[in-house]
Structure 1
Amino acid sequence: MTMTPEPRLMIYSQDGLGLGHLRRTTLLASAFLAARPGASVLTVSDSPMGQFFSTSPGHDYLKLPSIRKVGPGDWRPVALGMPFADVRELRRKLIRVAAEEFRPDVLLVDHMPHGAMGELVPTLKALPSKVRTVLGLRDIVDAPATVRRRWQVEGAFDALQRYYHDVLVYGCRGVFDVATQYAWPAELGSRVRYCGYVCSPHPSGSPDALRRRYLRGAPESDLVVAMAGGGADGFTLFETLIRAVPALVAERPCRLVVVTGPFLPEAEQKQLRRLARGLPVRLVSTVDNSLNHIRCADLVVSMAGYNTTAEVLRFARRALLVPRKGPSAEQRMRASRFADRGWVRWLPPESLSPEMLAVSMVDALASSKPEVTETPDLDGRDRAVRHLLSPLGDGPRGSALEPLAVNGHQGVGAATTTRSGGRR
């Protein structure tokens, strides 16, 4: 393919109730633009937070009407009072028009090959054959049986077979083998490239200054930082954590910073503030630099969303993960697999209580960092971007392409394998 002077990347991301997908796609967009100054990235997303994360010149957003998944195959509008079928049709047309007018060189689809309830299929059919289509998957989507059933019923497997050149898995095959666990046909499995976990670039600022600020007057105390991503379903964890503080500080001097997230309802924030009165707990909705909050912590207590856990691994912090109960099994699967490798500790959500959480935090703070024989691969951001750039002629300016892992094995040419079969 002839090099495009100003390459264009279009990203589709469905993230109506959270920040995880938006965070990951913003990281990839920024790295793409850093590698190819003058390029353009258009993210088509329904996140209510829009441009919540700072991004780079050359990156813009098209906001779709927000929808949210309330169960397998069950979607509802977040704000509009229209029937879901009408909202879906509006979204479908907006996506297609955006693709036709933006004319991307590469389309990166985040996590849903067919889009929410198949809304992306008309766009995939309409794309010129020269457009390279790539599916980006986080390490774990959901329980294998659920993914197999829903993808079959909703047409995701058919869309993947027909329209996609490659699948980038933002994780490690040894932790979760996507093609095997989700029973992909062999021909689809050959398109999979494991990139490693996608992490943020090194943060600015000093974590030491942040730590001194939070521990002012109690420098010998431990600092516990609690997070739950966007926070929409973080109340149960935060409430239990605050109720656990008296038992925790009876064992060790501690101060806690609870980052509730922008989606935690105001009524629940007020309830947490009432519970925290008189305790060494500081509640904040958002922070300018979440990475430095992770870096300065003696212990991170969080749910088991992709981005937070990836950053915990990157900075090798002690972490206690409490996955959400559902409706997806994704967080439980990630927490248990990471714990099996000694990377984190975890507490099953059905075991969550103030007493159990206090005991688990005391144990985690008292322990030394475990020796691990298998270290996580954290280079997913750069590897994924190198792959996205590979069909554009010269790859990243000033750096050589590194072969990606094809089904977990390094191989020359991995980044240039094309589809066999399909419509194009």
Structure 2
Amino acid sequence: MDSNLDVLIYAHDGRGLGHVSRSVGIGLALRRLFPELSVLLVTGCATTAELIGDGSLDWIKLPSYKTNVTAGKSSGVKGDSNIDDKLLGELRARNIRDIVAAYKPKVFLADHTPQGKHKELLPSHDVSPETVRVLGIRAVVGEVGKVWSDFSSEIFAGTYSNILWYGDSSVAGAGELERLSGHYGVAPHEAGYVSRLSELQVLNKDNAQGDRLAGVISIPWSGEGTAVLMDTLAETLGGIDASYGKWKIFMNLRESGTVTAVENFSGLEHVSFEQVGPQFLSDLRNSRSAVIYGGYNSLTDVMVCAVPTVVLLRGMKDGEQEDHAAVLADKSSVIQNVLADQTVTVEELRKSLVKCLEAEVDESVINLNGAENAARYLAELAGGCDADR
């Protein structure tokens, strides 16, 4: 095959960071284990460079999508380019087609759906026919119509040949694997949970530890319940003894409205704010507790770092986070409590955080080596050499 690239990774983007973070983790593992392979990531996520941190992974930036969430349902709006959501999908589709045509990757990994967001991968399926196309699917999909539609299975059958499943059947059972196999007609390859932080830990393993934190709180994007939650958090942290240590709240400080949220914490000298980025890794693994939303990316973060955690849920219509958090809470002592972000009370949150601060975490039984396993699988498809062991 006349190829200019070994592996091209496409990351679905819109609201959260889970899709991009998984893709970055796999890309970093490919570059670490197989330095002779050429690897590129393509996505519209504006914070991708911050997710990559000091890792060696190059990427191509597309204009970003933007999504609003109302009553648990996502809808597209104009992004930072101020281009209409539908038109942006058509323009990005041409961009992706041109990239695939120019680079002719040996392997193409698409996250989440075979058609891509707004069907933007469809034109690229007509070029570089020798490219092996692989679909990556998270551990618990939820009721996402674009994944389970007849259209997605038809697109997969005509273009793709492999599925990587980023889960652990010994934890969640084989139900999701069987459902994927029945829908797409191939047996998925079980990789395990993919963690970007596990790859960054390898890169930063010699970094000195800082002062022990009481906890870190991650709110990577704001939704309709964020303002109420921030009020609850401010009152909660104000009522927890400062002798436990300092708290750091990670948010996208570039989002409108965050200034008001920060002002709620004035006078709490043991609380500070940080921009979402690589610093979260070192602070998380040096914390006694964590508060996160129940997305795939955040759940794997806290499991890798073995930090007792309170999981918040946004109440999305697809039910993915509720199902996933319930499964993992039953198997991992890392997840101390699961609470709804819009209804949690100050007393509930305070008790949960104190419980985390005093908790001991058992050794994980969950396969968290998904980034490495996925990288080895993709490298084999690309004809790469054995990784250094």
Partner of 2:139: 139
Partner of 1:313: 303
1:167 aligns with 2:163: yes
Q: What does 1:93-112 correspond to in 2, within 5 Å?
A: 93-112=94-113
Question: Given the alignment, which residue of 27, 30, 33 partners 1:32?
Answer: 30
1:83 aligns with 2:84: yes
Q: CA deviation at 1:266?
A: 4.6
- The AA in structure 1 aligned to 2:338 is L
Question: Given the alignment, which residue of 294, 297, 307 partners 2:287?
Answer: 297
Cα distance in 1 for partners of 2:163, 2:344 equals 36
1:193 aligns with 2:185: no
Cα deviations across residues 378-412 of structure 1 (Å, max 9, x unaligned)?
Answer: 1111110010011233543445xxxxxxxxxxxxx
- The AA in structure 2 aligned to 1:123 is S
Cα distance in 2 for partners of 1:25, 1:184 equals 20
Cα distance in 1 for partners of 2:117, 2:91 equals 13
Q: Secondary structure at the match of 2:283?
A: helix
CA RMSD in angstroms comes to: 3.0
Q: What does 1:196-215 correspond to in 2, within 5 Å?
A: 196-199=192-195, 200-201=198-199, 202=201, 204=204, 209-211=209-211
Q: Is the 8 A contact 1:14 1:116 kept in 2?
A: yes
Partner of 2:327: 337
Q: CA deviation at 1:271?
A: 2.9
Partner of 1:285: 275
Cα distance in 2 for partners of 1:274, 1:184 equals 45
1:226 aligns with 2:224: no
Q: What does 1:232-271 correspond to in 2, within 5 Å?
A: 232-233=222-223, 236-249=228-241, 253-262=243-252, 265-271=255-261
Question: Given the alignment, which residue of 11, 16, 19 partners 1:18?
Answer: 16
Overall identity of the aligned pairs, in %: 22
- The AA in structure 1 aligned to 2:141 is V
Q: Secondary structure at the match of 2:133?
A: strand
Q: Is the 8 A contact 1:245 1:279 kept in 2?
A: no
Q: Secondary structure at the match of 2:284?
A: helix
Cα deviations across residues 307-330 of structure 1 (Å, max 9, x unaligned)?
Answer: 222121122221111122224422
- The AA in structure 1 aligned to 2:77 is R
Relative distance call for 1:361 and 1:187 in structure 2 (3 A) is closer
- The AA in structure 2 aligned to 1:138 is R
Q: CA deviation at 1:246?
A: 3.2
Bigger-Rg structure (1/2): 1
Relative distance call for 1:325 and 1:82 in structure 2 (3 A) is same
Q: CA deviation at 1:120?
A: 0.9
Q: CA deviation at 1:50?
A: 4.3
The total of aligned residue pairs comes to 377
Cα distance in 1 for partners of 2:113, 2:280 equals 27
Relative distance call for 1:178 and 1:63 in structure 2 (3 A) is farther
Cα distance in 2 for partners of 1:116, 1:132 equals 20
Relative distance call for 1:337 and 1:189 in structure 2 (3 A) is farther
- Give TM-score scaled by structure 1 length: 0.79
- The AA in structure 1 aligned to 2:8 is M
